[in-house]
Structure formats: structure tokens, C-alpha cells
Amino acid sequence: MDFDKLIKSLHPLERKVFPLVTNNSKLSYIIKESNLKEVEVTRALQWLENKKLIKTEKDFTEITELDENGKSYLNKELPEKQFLKALNKPLNLKEIKEKARLSNDEFNVSFGILKKLNLIKIGKEINITDEGKDFLKDNSTEELLKKLPKNINELSLKEKNIIDELKKRKNFIKLNLLKDRKISLTEIGEKLKQHKLEHDLIENVTSDLLRNKSWKNKEFRHYDIKINVPNINPNKRHFVNQAINYVRKIWLELGFKEMQGNIIQTSFWNFDALYSAQDHPSRDMQDTFFIKDPKLGNLPKIYNNVRKAHENGIENSLGYNYKWNPQEAMKNILRTQNTVLSARTIANLNLNELPCKFFSVGKVFRNETVDWSHLFEFYQTEGIVVDENVNFKHLLGYLKLFFSKMGFDKIKFRPSYFPFTEPSVEVIVYHPIKKIWIELGGAGIFRAEVVKPLLGKNIPVLAWGLGLERIIVDYYDIKDLRDIYGNDLKKLREIKLWIK
């Protein structure tokens, strides 16, 4: 061991603290003797331990102290003794209470203790027993109270029993756990004790030092670049926002334009324009949050096109064969899907703007029961491709490309049904912990009943809606969707950055 090199690596705090360390030294002792702050001593001890010069272990001491009520009896007798002293002759309970001048609480506590210890005899009147007379002569409890505070390990068995009884009384005794540290020297530390620690070393490089060249012919303190240092947690975006920005970047790089809109929409845009029947279960209170005020919104000029699609169908379809109700379509809701933005975007397109591609990333709301795989408020990313020359293979290609950029190598598509697409698929991945396949979203080609009333012409529109939280949980090693928004500060500081 090169002790000269080791000594030259010691920080000034280590030089002050190390000479005070002996086997079984206490942290509190070193703080007192060194005149350093606790944080300075603690830091120095950590550095010394990293250099394998000392070993530290936690040391807990339980201190017994008087609480608020206990302190009040330091200068007066305990209530049970006041009770007994009142019994110079047999008395009833009312007479004892008045003579002893006890409060209701003191009287009740005293009566219970004396009865339990057989210090009184209960009949028509209360009498003191021989044991009670002996109890009056015993001052061990009062003497113990005057000794407190005291380390509980330093109490005798009798004193511990007294403390156990006093702890049953309200605010009489309290136990404080004092945390300290025991420090002992290692074999290397013992050897270092035999060397002088004084060295004229330069600790910091300053402008004066460089300007005056006073560093010449002097030594710098050696720095240990391997030593443990505190983690630094720089400011950063919430990890969900990092993922959202990454998703937005993917779509923008693929040539998509972003769609944006309000979270409050009419049922017309959220359901009717997407060819969801007005009696569809998803529209009732079990799945949808309805707005109380304002309850109703306005219908756009194209509502009659949508009404005809519902009542009579489009291009040889039969429709739903019911009377479409405009009042139902006007109800305001919290959007249940970002596809509402796709419908509004298509309705504002001109045919000469085609082909075109759009995406969105935004919150949606479902009246769901919250569990490990469901939230009632979550993010969806939507996309549409409006182009006469696209087909179902193009749809699967877009989805595979997106999920590969999100870190999924293996995904599956399974046939599904949605009121507004045909054909329709669900995107699923296997959850390695839960051992089940998890749905990440739905996709398909918009039906004629959606496209023609909005655009005026039935052309292929590829569409998808994907749940963002379910996509990102594997990357962040989150097993329960509810943990995403728990906002545990420790987890938020330590969670890795979104880097793909």
C-alpha cells in the first residue's frame, strides 16, 4: 500500500475527521470533537469508507422520556397515591374524588390501577388494603421519573416494568429512537494511523493561482475519480411527454400533418359522423362522459348527409333503418376517441388536396373501471391516409413501421369489428409478465357510410387509433398502467429517458 499517495488523496475534511476515529467511535462524538457540521462529518466518513480506511454501521438507541402529562407529576404525587392518601377512613367514590381533588381522567385511571393491583377493597365504601399502605411507602416510580430521559437498555427489570405500566397512560411516557453510527478502523486504517497526515497540498485551482504561478514547485491533492458521488437529477420532461414527442416525430418524418381539436365534442362528430348507431352501447353512460353544461352543441351543415347514411344507407347499404335523432347527436361529451379529429379533418378536405396524411396525439376519456390494463383518461395517437391508390396492405405497412420505430419487433393483427371501418383489425402484442396478449389499438379502412357523407366521394381512407400508455409500459418496465400517473418523485427522477 502506497500510504504517501493515499495521504495525498485525503480531503481536508478527511484529515480532520480521521484522527478522531478509534474503534467503536460514535458519529455524535466526532461531530462534537471536530467542530464540523454533521453533513461535513458524514461526507468525510463516506469518503474514508470508500477508501476502505474505516467501517461504519448504524447504531440505534431507544431513549425513554417523560411526555407532557408525565412532566406534570415531577413536582406532585401520582394520582393513584393522591387517591390512596384520601382513604384515611372508608369513603365512597364521590367523597374520594372531592377529597383527593382529582380530575375525571385522573380519578378513572387511579381507580383502575388500584383495583387491578389489589390496593383497595371495594364494597359499599372504598377501603385501603395492606398492600396499598405498602405502596404509599414505595417511591421507586417517582425516583425513576426524575432520572429520565434515559437509555432503555440501562434500566433495571423493575424500572422497565414501571415504564411499561406508565406507557399505558395518555401522553405520560414517550420513546425516542436516537440514530447514530459506530465507526471502526480497518486494517489499512490502523496502519495509516502511524503516518503523519499533514501535507502542504493545493486543493483548488483558482485564477489567482494561475496568474501568480504560485502552483509551481507545489503538489496538488490527488483526486479519486472512481469515488461514489451523489446522483444529479436534471430537469426533464415527464416520461409520457417524452414518448408523445417521439410519436409526433415519427409521424412528421413520415410526411403526416398534425390534427388538433378540443377534448369536448358533440356526439355528432364523436359517434354519428363515424357511423356509430345512436343506440350503440358505447354511447350510454357506461362508456361515455356527458357534459352537463352546456349540454348541447351545434350540428354542422353536412348533418343531413350523415342522417341519410344512418336512416337509409350509402351505396346499396341498408343503414340502421331507424329515425335519426338530431337531439341525440347534439349532446356534448368528453371525446372517447381521437378519431373524432379524423372525421372533422375529412369533412374540411377538398378533393383537389388529395392524397394527404394526418395524425394526432391527444387525450381521450372513457367511463372505464380502472385496473392494471385500463385507465379512464389516456392518450391515443390517431392517423388517416386519404388516397385513392391505397389498400389494406398499405395500412398494415404503416402500422408495422410505426411499431418497429416504437421498439416492437413482433406484433400480430387479428380481425375485429368497428362500426366505422371495414375491413377492421386489432393490433396486439404479448405481455411477458401477465402471459396474455394485450390490445394496443384498432385500425381499418373507413366505410363508405363515413367517407361519402363527409367528403362527398367514397375513396379509401386508412385509419387507426392506438393507445399510447399501453405502447410505452414495456420500455419503462411498468407492470401496471395506474403507476404511469402515480407521480412518485423518486421514480420520476430515476426513470430512464425515452431514447429509441
Exposure on the CB side of residue 291, measured as CA atoms within 13 A: 18
Q: Is 128 helix (H, G, I), strand (E, B) or coil?
A: strand
- Residue 398 and residue 385 in contact, taking contact as beta carbons nearer than 8 Å: yes
What pLDDT score was predicted for residue 376? 85
Q: Higher confidence at residue 89 or residue 432? A: 89
**Residue 108, phi then psi, degrees to nearest 5:** -65, -40
Instruction: Indicate if the pLDDT at residue 431 is higher than 80.
Output: no
Here the cell at position 349 is: 378536405
- Residue 391 and residue 408 in contact, taking contact as beta carbons nearer than 8 Å: no
pLDDT digits (tens, 9 = 90+) for 216-272: 878 888 777 776 677 777 888 888 999 999 999 999 999 999 999 999 999 999 999
What pLDDT score was predicted for residue 225? 72
Sign of the Cα torsion 223, 225, 230, 234 reads positive
What pLDDT score was predicted for residue 432? 67
Going from the C-alpha of 427 to that of each of 248, 254, 400, the distances in angstroms are 19, 20, 10
Instruction: Indicate if the pLDDT at residue 101 is higher than 90.
Output: no
Residue keyed to cell 376517441: 337
| Residue 360: partners with Cβ closer than 8 Å, 6 or more residues away | 258, 259, 260, 261, 338, 341, 342, 380, 381, 382, 383
Q: What is the DSSP string of 217-233?
A: T-EEPP--TTS------
Which of 455, 457, 465 minimizes the C-alpha distance to 421?
465
Instruction: Indicate if the pLDDT at residue 116 is higher than 80.
Output: yes
Here the cell at position 353 is: 388536396
Give the mean pLDDT of 385-412. Answer: 91
pLDDT digits (tens, 9 = 90+) for 438-492: 888 899 999 999 999 999 999 999 999 998 988 888 888 888 888 888 888 888 8
Here the cell at position 1 is: 500500500
Cα 6 from chain centre: 43
Instruction: Give me the chain's average pLDDT, please.
Output: 87
Of 6-10, 53-57, 98-102, 269-273, the range with the highest mean pLDDT is 269-273
- Residue 190 and residue 36 in contact, taking contact as beta carbons nearer than 8 Å: no
pLDDT digits (tens, 9 = 90+) for 278-313: 988 878 766 889 999 999 999 999 999 999 999 999
CA distance 180 to 178: 6
Please calculate the CA angle 138-139-143 and round it to the nearest 5 degrees.
Answer: 150
Give the mean pLDDT of 19-34. Answer: 87
Q: What is the DSSP letter of 425?
A: E
- Residue 381 and residue 247 in contact, taking contact as beta carbons nearer than 8 Å: yes
What pLDDT score was predicted for residue 5? 81
For residue 378, list its beta bridge partners: 364
3-state helix, strand, coil in the chain (%, to 5): 40, 20, 40
- pLDDT bin (cut points 50, 70, 90) of residue 401 is very high
Alpha-carbon radius of gyration of the chain: 39
- Amino acid in position 441: G
CA distance 425 to 418: 9
List of domains in the chain: 240-494 (3.30.930.10)
Instruction: Report the range of poorest mean pLDDT among 28-42, 204-218, 289-303.
Output: 204-218
Q: Higher confidence at residue 141 or residue 273? A: 273
Instruction: Indicate if the pLDDT at residue 210 is higher than 70.
Output: yes
What pLDDT score was predicted for residue 335? 94
CA distance 236 to 445: 39
Give the mean pLDDT of 327-346. Answer: 94
Which of 88, 130, 90, 85 minimizes the C-alpha distance to 110?
85
- pLDDT bin (cut points 50, 70, 90) of residue 372 is confident
CA distance 381 to 39: 49
For residue 147, list its beta bridge partners: none
Give the mean pLDDT of 124-145. Answer: 87
Q: What is the DSSP letter of 28?
A: H
Which residues in 37-69 are b (16+ Cβ under 10 Å) and which e? Answer: eeebbbbbbebbbebebbebeeeeeebbebbee
Here the cell at position 414 is: 387479428
Q: What is the DSSP string of 337-397?
A: -THHHHHHHHHT--GGG-SEEEEEEEEEE--PPPBTTB-SEEEEEEEEEE-TT--HHHHHH
Question: What pTM was computed for the model?
Answer: 0.58
